[in-house]
Amino acid sequence: MESALYNGHVVHHRHRPRKHSLRYRVFSMLLDLDELAALDAHLKLFAHNRFGIFSFRDADHGDGEVGNLRAWVNGHLRGAGIDPSGGHVRVLCYPRLLGYVFNPLTVYFCHDRDDQLQAILYEVGNTFGERHTYVIATEGEQATVRQRCAKELYVSPFVPMDCAYDFRIEPPGERVLISIDESDAEGPLLFAAFAGKRRPLTDRTLLSAFFSYPLMTLKVTVGIHWEALRLWAKGAPVYRHKAAREKIAATIVSLAPSTGNQP
């Protein structure tokens, strides 16, 4: 099984106009889409598309259609000029815990038949139920992947829309790192990262996660609103939400030969 748990920390550092930092203990699941049926059958604490102590639901991701997630990924890969046939897709995300989840970011690692990384999909969600996915091809095998795209979805009331994301990714192995620098025309605004250490995905490790990170997925949402309140108290300027033109959308980001991935 390639599916696994990653225990670690999320950190945020806001540089301006008000400095603000946070650090939370969290865990994420790495789920190979081809293994979901087997995980559902063999793990007592994990369920796919049904209620469980831990669960993964297709409706929380992609176009929201149950049973269509792999086809949704493949369609975006083809749109980026990538042949998806025979390659594994592994999804790094928070699972549902006792039926609840909110994923600010889900990362899809898309491989070819030789298990070489071909593309990364960054699925960003906000608290208004909107999702936007950035589809970015990789440029050969790299220990650290660096990619960039323009921001297309409103996420935080304290960050303007006219921004760009710089991703630094260490793909899942014994460790994983998802690092994002968000900047505007004046320079860096926000740094966010998740770093985790791999553990096997078993009923034993799931039971340990349940007690080590009690109600974690609910705490993610509570933490978002708590940190927003702290920022508001510091006098950070507020940018009002403007509904996305499409509730679920995607952008295929082109590669510039000389400078890597550009918006």
Mark the ranges of the chain whose per-residue pLDDT is less than 70: 255-263
Domains of the chain, residue spans: 4-261
**Predicted local confidence at residue 259, as pLDDT:** 37
Question: Mind listing the pLDDT tens digit for each residue in 65-89?
Answer: 999 999 999 999 999 999 988 899 9
**Predicted local confidence at residue 77, as pLDDT:** 96
pTM for the whole structure: 0.94
**Predicted local confidence at residue 213, as pLDDT:** 96
Give the number of other Cβ atoms within 10 Å of residue 131's Cβ.
23
**Predicted local confidence at residue 258, as pLDDT:** 37
**Predicted local confidence at residue 30, as pLDDT:** 98
**Predicted local confidence at residue 260, as pLDDT:** 39
**Predicted local confidence at residue 64, as pLDDT:** 95
Six token digits for residue 32: 């190979």
The mean predicted confidence, pLDDT, of the chain is: 94
**Predicted local confidence at residue 37, as pLDDT:** 97
Burial zone of 168 (CB within 10 Å; 0-12 exposed, 13-18 middle, 19+ buried) = middle
Burial zone of 229 (CB within 10 Å; 0-12 exposed, 13-18 middle, 19+ buried) = exposed
